[in-house]
Amino acid sequence: MRRGAPRGTLRGLLRSHKPQLRLAAGGDLLVHLNFLMFLHRLAEEARTNAFENKSKTIKPEHTIAAAKVILKRSRG
């Protein structure tokens, strides 16, 4: 992560979804952390799927299957 967390974008995203909701001072950083971990889990799952298919690259099918699992798990 060389760019740094896009804090403004995160706030904007949250506002777009829930305009009435406010966010605390460091909240967007934790949101960013959550987002990173979500991507991490997604990447791991996709990688596992790719390995299972004995392919050296991650293909859309792998990511779709991974997304189903991870999105369900990260519903909270």
Partner 1 sequence: MDGVRARRESRRSLRRSLGDRPRSGSGSGRVVVAAAARRALLRQQPAAFPDVDNDTPRALLRRVIRNQPQVSPLAPPIADHKETEDAPSEPSSRRTSSMVELQLPDIVPEDTSISTFRMTRSRKKLSISEFERAADKRLPQNQAHSTLDSTLARSLRMSLGSVLAPDTVEKRGLLRRPKNRKAIDIAAFEGGVEQNMQRKAQNYLVELQTASMIEAATATSDAEIMLNNTELFVQPQSVEQNQKKLPALEPRLSESKTPVQRSEISNATQEEGRLVGRVSSVGTDEGRTRRYSEEELINDGEHVDNMAHVSQETSVNDGEDEQGHSQQSEPVEQLSASAEVAGTMEHHTNTGYSEHLEKKLTERAESQIIMTPEEEVVAEGSVKHQDSAKPEPEMARSARAGSLSRHSHAFSSEKSGTKPLEEAVEQADELLEDRAVMGQLDGPEEESTEDEVEMEGQESEEGSMKTPTFVRAPAYRPLPLLPTPRSAKPAAPESPLQPQRAKPVPKTSRKSQKKQREPALASSYIKQIFRHYAKMPVARDAYQIIEKCCEKYFKQLSDDLEVYAHHAGRKTVEMADLELLMRRQRLVTDKMPLHVLIERYLPMEYRKLLIPVAVSGNKVIPSKSMWSSGKW
Q: What residues line the site for partner 1 (CB under 8 A)?
A: 1-6, 8-10, 12-14, 16-18, 20-27, 29-40, 42-44, 46-47, 50, 53, 55-64, 67, 70-71, 73-76
Residue 24 to residue 29: CA distance in whole angstroms: 10
* Nearest C-alpha neighbor of 29 from the set 9, 49, 51, 54: 9
* Nearest C-alpha neighbor of 39 from the set 71, 4, 6: 71
Least distance in angstroms from the C-beta of 25 to partner 1: 7
Least distance in angstroms from the C-beta of 37 to partner 1: 5
Least distance in angstroms from the C-beta of 73 to partner 1: 7
